[in-house]
Amino acid sequence: MSKGHRTQIKRERNAVADKRPKAKLSFARLSVTKACFVLDAIRGKSCDTAVGILSYSPRHASEIILKLLNSAIANGENNLGLKRENLYVAECYATPGPIMKRIQPRAQGRAYRIQKRMCHINLILDEKK
């Protein structure tokens, strides 16, 4: 257990900057479960392998995640000066976002609720040692 006040502990934790290339997509019109199927397939793979998996995957989420992966690769190459061949998908996860609630009219004056879910997708790459 660390000593000190919680704000001091947070300051120390946040002072260490994460130098890994990353990309984040907020408010993707996609449910978390559908995104996680695709994210599980690429987690831990090298970037070239992950691009191959995503480009041939029939799921709708794979197109969205492929754009995000290419953005993270570009961030690593241009901002941090890393080689594409050495990068791999270290972390990738999806968290739930807000839900758009819509109404579907049904028989006898009833109304069924339709939930259009969103998610936030985070993708963090790292360099092979």
Give pLDDT tens digits for 19-28: 899 999 999 9
CA–CA separation, 87 and 124 (whole Å) = 10
Domains and CATH numbers, the chain: 29-97+112-129 (3.90.470.10)
Q: At what angle do helices 60-78 and 47-56 cross, to 10 degrees?
A: 150
Q: Count of H helices and E strands in the chain?
A: 4, 3
User: What is the per-residue pLDDT across 88-124, written as a single tens digit (0 to 9) for each?
Assistant: 999 999 999 999 999 999 999 999 999 999 999 999 9
